[in-house]
Chains A and B, each alone.
Chain A
Amino acid sequence: MPELIKQDEVVYQVLDLSVNLRRRGQERVILESLSFDVLKKECLSIVGPSGTGKTTLLRALAGLVPYSGSVKFHGETLNGPASDVVLVFQDYVNALLRWRTVQKNVALGIEGRIPKEQCQERIDEAIETVGLQNYRDSYPWELSGGMQQRVQIARALAMKPKVLLFDEPFGSLDAMTREGLQDELLRVRSVFQTTCVFITHDIDEAVYLGDRLMLLSGSPASLTFELDIPLGASRNQILTKESGEFLGYRHQVYEQMRKAHGGSQATG
């Protein structure tokens, strides 16, 4: 399989990635020798129980934590914060600037870097993509949680990144808003064709959004399972989720998760 993939189709090439974090003077291995590729235009779901180090993995891909092993982004070794890679955090309250309007928040990453007119065009495009055109001049604290998360996504889109890294972006939203935003994300991806890495502990969400899925588990965490999800680009909350294929993938992931997690539960 890997021989068939052309080099320029690979966005991330991760080989033997390990991350140690020092907390209160104690060094702890969070991730242990992960190897995987992220391909152009795909959405890679990474699923795992909370506390396994999913966020640390995402931060490593963004170049925000020191790692050992090799992470190549478009063929170049990643040292320090990656440009063209934007993180979308679960904690939208702290990720947004509460004293800036929606428009100014979306502008944060691009203002002063590109010509003013172009900047405004990109802001408008991003805001319209997430459907907040009537809230340009509102402050984040005047909006609902789902809308604030849309602002964060718009801010990421305005950067026109090569990769979007989602860190459980819908984890703190209610089920209905979450489903709405999942479909929004599918739609945005079909327009922008951006490569995505999507982290979640919600298996349904991981299968629904991913073209490919990886299971992260254990302590220190390693990749224990990988699955292709060829459900196509147009997915539907009702029809896709009740299709036999979807349920089959879901079943496999649950089984693997139980296998990986059951072992650790027995010891703990």
Chain B
Amino acid sequence: MTLQTANTHSVMIRKSRHKSNDGKGVAPLVGLLPLAALLLIWQVFGNPHSVFFPQPNRWFAAIDSLRQQGMLWSSILATASTFIQSMIVATLIGTALGMALGSIQWGGRALDPLLDFLRNLPAAALVPAAAIVLGTNTKMALVIVVFSSVWPILLNTRSAILNLSPVLSSSITNLGLGGFRRSSVMIGSALPGILLGVRVAAPLALIVTLLAEFITNLPGVGALILSAQQNFNSAEVYALLLVAGVLALVVNSIVSAIEASVLHRHGPTTS
């Protein structure tokens, strides 16, 4: 009986890898049902006059009023734009540096302490320093977000390159591939590792984007949350929390979709 279920399960996992659009879009929405139920309970049993725990219907009213002021979409757009630009830059830099470090035999491990130091620097502590050097602007937010999200991509790329089979590198050399061709074959083979790094980096980048907006008050969802909190507008704070949550969910599903569409060619055993 247990064996039976285990088998069915593994078959289902395989199937979903190959046919990624096979009802996959519905599953996360079904998974959100408990949250919806919780909000419903809150709505029904909550205190309509509560200052700290406003009922969800007041959240939606708050969102709507933001929308009418023209603040909602422009803020989401600003946050999304910082996030997307940083992810692109972080992916390019992380992949390039990770490949370089993975290819240098002696440097790969020797630089570990430095990399550990840099990647553990808290983003919040970097914001003041970056603000002094670059000023409080979008460029500075980009630098902070890139700096904190580049590490998972860099380190995963490096270890993917280091773990490439020596047989692969011998056969690339033997076939006479050098320069650009060699790199493109290496990137292709390291792609599962690189994308794993991107998947880890994406939520981190979103967090740091919001954090940079909190601290610097640059336009964006983070700044809206900060001003709602400073105005003791608790319904708006909760509403924006929900917006941030939805943003994170969207980011996650986009990254997963990209990963699935790229990696279906790599076959079932790599993940």
Cα–Cα, bound, A171→B36 (Å): 58
B176 near A91 with CB under 8 A, answer no
Nearest CB of chain B from residue A89's CB, rounded to whole Å: 5
B256 to chain A, nearest CB (A): 18
Q: A87 contacts the other chain (Cβ, under 8 Å)?
A: yes
In angstroms, Cα B171 to Cα A83, docked, is: 12
- Contact mask B179-198 → A, CB, 8 Å, 1/0? 00100010011010000000
Binary contact readout A92-108 vs B (1 if CB under 8 angstroms, 0 otherwise): 00110111100000001
Q: Is there an interface contact between B267 and A87, defined as CB atoms closer than 8 Å?
A: no
Q: Which stretch in B44-52, B162-170, B211-219 binds the other chain? A: B162-170
Contact, CB under 8 Å: A98 / B171: no
Contact mask for chain A residues 26-60; partner B; CB cutoff 8 A; 1 contact, 0 none: 00000000000000000000000000000000010
Partner of A112, one of B174, B181, B189, B269: B181
A109 and B177 contacting across the interface, CB-CB below 8 Å: yes
The verdict on B25 contacting chain A, using a C-beta distance below 8 Å, is no
| A interface, size bucket | 20 to 34
Closest residue of chain A to B166 (Cβ to Cβ) is A94
Cβ contacts A68-90/B at 8 Å (1 or 0 each): 00000000000001010111010
- On whether A83 and B265 interact (CB within 8 A), knowing A94-B165, A95-B168, A99-B191, the answer reads no
Q: Mark B259-271, 1 if CB is under 8 A from A, else 0.
A: 0000001111110
Cα distance, A87 to B189, chains bound together (Å): 20
Query: Which residues of the partner chain A approach B167 to less than 8 Å between Cβ atoms?
Result: 89, 91, 94-95
Beyond A97-B185, A99-B266, is A91–B174 a contact (Cβ under 8 Å)? no
Q: Is the CB of A64 within 8 A of B170?
A: yes
A97 & B188 in contact (Cβ 8 Å cutoff): yes
- Shortest A155–chain B CB gap in Å is 8
A142 at interface, CB cutoff 8 A: yes
Please judge, given known A-B contacts A81-B176, A139-B265, A141-B267, whether A91 and B191 are in contact too, CB under 8 Å. Answer: no
Residues of B within 8 A of A64 (CB): 170, 173-174
- Cβ-defined contact, A99 with B188, below 8 A: yes
Complex CA distance for A59 and B166, rounded to whole angstroms:
12
Residue interface mask A108-140, B partner, CB < 8 A = 1: 110010000000000000000000000000011
B168's contact among A59, A62, A83, A94, by CB below 8 Å, is which? A94
- Quick check: is A159 within 8 A (CB to CB) of the other chain? yes
* A159–B175 CB distance below 8 A: yes
Q: How far is the CB of B16 from chain A (nearest CB, A)?
A: 17
Cα separation A140 to B168 with both chains bound (whole Å):
14
Partner of A87, one of B171, B191, B269: B171
Q: Are A86 and B188 in contact (CB under 8 A)?
A: no
Kindly report which residue of chain A lies nearest to residue B178, judged by CB atoms: A81
- The 8 Å CB contact of B174, one of A62, A141, A142, is A62
| One of B165, B170, B173, B265 near A99 (C-beta < 8 A) | B265
CB-based contact A142/B173 at 8 Å: no
Q: Is B174 a contact partner of A87 (Cβ separation < 8 A)?
A: yes
Contact call A141/B268, Cβ cutoff below 8 A: yes
Known contacts A59-B170, A94-B168; A109/B175 CB under 8 A: yes
Which of B175, B177, B268, B269 is within 8 Å of A86, CB to CB?
B175
A108 near B188: Cβ-Cβ < 8 Å: no
Closest beta carbon of chain B to A40's beta carbon, Å? 21
Q: Judging by beta carbons under 8 Å apart, are B171 and A89 in contact?
A: yes
Chain B positions within 8 Å of A81 at CB level: 173-174, 176
Q: Which residues of B have CB within 8 Å of A59?
A: 170
Contact status A87-B266, CB under 8 Å = no
Which residues of chain B in 223-252 are interfacial with respect to chain A, using CB atoms and an 8 Å cutoff?
A: none
Cβ-defined contact, A99 with B175, below 8 A? no
B266 surroundings in chain A (CB, below 8 A): 98-99, 141
Q: Which residue of B lies closest to A87 (CB)?
A: B174
Output the nearest chain B residue to A101 by Cβ-Cβ distance.
Answer: B265
Say how far B53's CB is from chain A's closest CB, in angstroms.
51
CB nearest neighbor in A for B175 = A109
CB neighbours (8 Å) of B168 from chain A are 94-95
- Evaluate contact between B174 and A98: CB separation under 8 angstroms: no
A203-235 toward B: CB 8 Å interface, digit per residue (1/0)? 000000000000000000000000000000000
| Bound: A81/B171 CA distance, A | 11
Task: A91-B165, A99-B265 are known; give 6 further A-B pairs, CB within 8 A.
Answer: A64-B170, A64-B173, A87-B174, A97-B185, A97-B188, A97-B189
A-B contact pairs, 8 of them (CB 8 A): A81-B173, A81-B176, A85-B174, A87-B170, A95-B171, A98-B266, A98-B270, A139-B265
Residue positions of A touching B, CB distance < 8 A: 59, 62, 64, 81, 83, 85-87, 89, 91, 94-95, 97-100, 108-109, 112, 139-142, 155, 159
Q: Which 10 A-B residue pairs are closest in the complex by CB-CB distance?
A: A141-B267, A94-B165, A109-B175, A94-B167, A99-B265, A91-B167, A95-B171, A87-B174, A99-B266, A94-B168
